[in-house]
Amino acid sequence: MSQSPLLPTPVLESVEGEQTPLLQAPITSRPISSLALVHNAWRFVTSNGKVATGSAIIGFFVLVAIVGPLFVHQNPNLFTNQILLQPSAAHPLGTNQGGQDVFSQLVIGTRSSLFWAFVAGVLVMIISVTVGLVSGYLGGITDDVFSLITNVFLVIPSFPLAIVAAQYFSRSEFTVALIVALTNWPWGARVLRAQTLSMRNREFITAARSSGERTWRIIFFEIFPNQLSIVAASFITTTIQVLLQVAGLEFLGFGDPTAVSWGTMLYNAYNNSALLLGAWWWFAPPGICIALLGSGMALLNFGIDEYADPRLRLKRKRAARQKAVAA
Amino acid sequence: MTSGAPHVSPQPGAVATPILEADHLQKRFPVQGSFGRQLTVRAVEDASLALYPGRALALVGESGSGKTTIARMLARVYDPTAGTLRFQGKPVQFAGGAALRDYRRHVQLIFQDPFASLNPVHDVRYHLARLLRVHGHAKTSAQATQQALALLQRVSLTPAEQFLYKYPHQLSGGQRQRVAIARALAVHPQVLLADEPVSMLDVSIHLDILNLLRQLKNEDHLAFLFITHDIATARYFAEETNVLYAGQMVEGGPSDEVIQHPKHPYTQLLIAAAPDPARLNAEGKRVDALPARGEIPSLVNPPTGCRFHPRCPHAMPVCRERFPARTDLGNGHWTHCFLYGDGTTTTQPS
């Protein structure tokens, strides 16, 4: 830092390319091109074994959710008389008591399970970011009111409430996602409020305020980007929560019984005594999928923690070095 | 100008009207004491000052003397507990919204710590462009970029194109402070409040930044409030110097006058504390060393009367009872000290 300010710093490769055409070219062009973004994303994904494993698992399920249904030509709800068949070439995961093909149900179910977990996760994130940042930044009476609401929601046992609420409203997957979102946002809001409290008196926020920025711009453009790693981590955590809760509600029979998802598959398997019948191909695959996707997201979350906290990264490097020395 | 106004221009005939005046500003911060007691930090008592276009006023004092609080009140980061602000002769209404934004179009603050005053997630262009857009100097993104480049050139960050998309962590302390100065200049302000702009920087680049600020002051005819704890810097940069102790203004006047002929015992102590090879004797001992005693007092429970009296070598019983009024010493030099009278030359309520 003792370098003279007049001395130009070494030119960074990303800036150099932009240097000459900058004045004439459309100025909107940023030095971070989409290619660099992809490169950065790839570097993050491969930075660490946990992240790599986690993203591979999640990537696999996302791929199945998007393109999987194109390869399934069977109606997953079609009843046939070929009941409880063992896995075979025609039915890779056998059939259930209604003669429905388990494999096609699993593939079709991936899309809805993933989609609704994602929707609920996004809803949770929107509510918790808004409540947490606004109450932390504004303080005063707004903070008191928001904190009270947060604390009330925090002590409401979310799963029982979801069960009760699911009784009253129409049994659709949207209802389940909405209920799960409404009972899961307070944790993230609390964490983000605490972070915002510590940030609102930082000098760059005072600088933004004294430069005449509007309050909502300070909250969402100055503070929010500084909390992206927390938001990303809490998004993944809540998505796991939501995935499990949605599956749990459906398993207990509070979902839409006509929809095909992992949770309803488990519900049907349980109600038709798949366990007693020994039809493992019926109940095991959706359970394994839920467990696998959950652990994939958990791994990604650990990875983000390590990535966001340089001290953890350092520890890992030191461990690797020690291993290299020992070998 | 009121009769008590301390600022007589050193150049005869060059008396201008002040652009920003503060009268009897007072700031108290409520704090939570132990067991839920409500305490009050009396950060600033009765501060009056005036800023003139093209001139700099230095505010000197040690940590906790209320320098930054005064600057932030002038920048309207805080509202004063009491007192008035006048901008271009008109009293400033302490309201938010458009009026506040309008005020900030004319008065900008440069922060002390360039490592904390720039948002780590935004690049240099964003910092500059936001001000240009907020205050309507740039209508389009392209205009903002053009003006940002011009600003970077003004603060000698060249080639400007190279700095435009740098993030704060890619810049050195001096470079960051130049960006912070460029940001303050973006609104075309008439008043710049510089809160210890060089104290966090490496000593080797102090002079570069000071000279840059002086050049900007002269080019744009800016009124400057320059806050420092270093009396030599104050003398180098500012035409006038005010000395602050524990939230009270104790002495002020033309910088040379205040520094070469300090009248208030605190100013004398402050100047004696500055290293000066000319004041060493043959053994390397200080010839005029004043015995320094005590610390800056608690502002929650400050000493009564003149807050300097527990440390003052000349303390009299009256010092304990009340704060002396302003005594004019001629030539624009004034002090608040009973040693020189009790404000009998000019009257001013304290």
In a domain, B232, yes or no: yes
Greatest extent of chain B over all pairs of C-alpha atoms, in Å: 67
Look up the CATH number of the domain holding residue B235. 3.40.50.300
Q: Residue B161 falls within a domain, yes or no?
A: no
pLDDT above 90 as % of chain A: 10
B208 touches chain A (CB under 8 A): yes
Longest dimension (CA), chain A: 83
Most confident residue range from A158-172, A277-291, B37-51: B37-51
Write down the pLDDT at residue B213: 92
- The reply to whether B192 falls in a domain is yes
Percent with pLDDT over 70 in chain A: 82
Query: pLDDT digit string (tens) for B272-282?
Result: 877 766 666 66
- Report the residue from A8, A203, A207 with minimal CB separation from B162: A8
Percent residues over pLDDT 90 in chain B = 23
Flag whether B62 is in a domain.
yes
Specify the number of domains making up chain B: 1
Question: Least CB-CB distance to A203: which of B105, B113, B161?
Answer: B113
B215 touches chain A (CB under 8 A): no
Q: Is A225's Cβ below 8 Å from some Cβ in B?
A: yes
Provide the mean pLDDT of chain A.
Answer: 77
Chain B residues 84-113 within an 8 A CB cutoff of chain A:
100-101, 104-105, 108-109, 111-113
Q: What's residue B175's pLDDT? A: 92
- In chain A, what are the domains? 93-322 (1.10.3720.10)
In this prediction, residue A308 has a pLDDT band, given cuts at 50, 70 and 90, of low
pLDDT value of position A233 = 81
Does the CB of B204 have a partner CB in chain A at under 8 Å? Answer: yes
Interface of B with A in 139-168 (CB under 8 A): 141-142, 145-146, 149, 156-159, 161-162, 164-166
Taking the Cβ of residue B76 and every Cβ of chain A, the question of whether any pair is shorter than 8 Å is answered with yes
Test B111 with A207 for CB contact under 8 angstroms. Answer: yes
Tally of CA atoms within 13 A in the half-sphere of B228 that contains its CB: 24
Contacts of A9 in chain B (CB under 8 A): 162, 166, 170-172, 175
Domain membership flag for residue B85: yes
- Asked if A4 and B174 come within 8 Å (Cβ–Cβ), the reply is yes
For residue A32, the distance in angstroms to the closest alpha carbon of chain B comes to 10
Helices (H), A13-101: 13-19, 34-45, 49-71
The Cα B204–Cα B212 span in angstroms is 14
B327 interface with A at CB cutoff 8 Å? no
Using the Cβ of A27 and the Cβ atoms of chain B, whether some distance falls under 8 Å is answered with: yes
Q: Would you say residue B162 lies in a domain?
A: no
Quick one: pLDDT band at residue B343, thresholds 50, 70, 90? low
- Environment class of residue A107 by beta-carbon count within 10 Å: exposed (0-12), middle (13-18) or buried (19+)? buried
On chain A, the residues whose CB falls within 8 A of the CB of B165 are 14-15, 18, 30-31
Mean pLDDT of chain B: 84
ipTM score here?
Answer: 0.79
Share of chain B above pLDDT 70, in %: 88
Give the bridge partners for B223, in sequence order.
B191
User: Which are the contacts of A12, defined by CB distance < 8 A and separation ≥ 6?
Assistant: B166, B170
Is residue A265 within 8 Å of residue A246, measured between CB atoms?
no
Residue B293: give the domain boundaries: 20-106+187-340
Q: What is the pLDDT of residue B225?
A: 93
Q: According to the 3-state scheme, what is the secondary structure of B257-314?
A: HHHHCCCCHHHHHHHHHCCCHHHECCCCCECCCCCCCCCCCCCCCCCCCCCCCCCCCC
Band (pLDDT 50/70/90 cuts) for residue B12 is very low
More reliable by pLDDT, A208 or A36:
A208
Backbone angles phi, psi at A173, to 5 degrees: -65, -30
Option in B142, B161, B174 nearest A19 (CB): B161
Q: Specify if B6 maps to a domain.
A: no
pLDDT tens-digit series, residues A50-59? 888 888 888 8
Tokens of B130: 């936001």
Dist. CA A23–CA A31, nearest whole Å: 13
Contacts of A18 in chain B (CB under 8 A): 161, 165
Q: Is residue B41 part of a domain?
A: yes
What stretch of H or E contains B184?
helix B173-185
Interface residue B322 vs chain A (CB under 8 A): no
| Helix%, strand%, coil% for chain A, nearest 5 | 75, 0, 25
> Which of these, B323, B330, B321, lies nearest to B348 by C-alpha position?
B323
Question: Is residue B51 classed as helix, strand or coil in its secondary structure?
Answer: strand
The answer to whether the Cβ–Cβ distance between A206 and B111 falls below 8 Å is: yes
pLDDT score of B266 more than 70: yes
Sort out which chain A residues have CB atoms less than 8 A from B171's CB and list them: 9
Q: Six-digit token pair at A154?
A: 């925090």
- Taking the whole predicted model, whether its pTM rises above 0.90 is answered as no
Cβ within 8 Å of residue A103, ≥6 positions away: A72, A91, A92, A93, A285
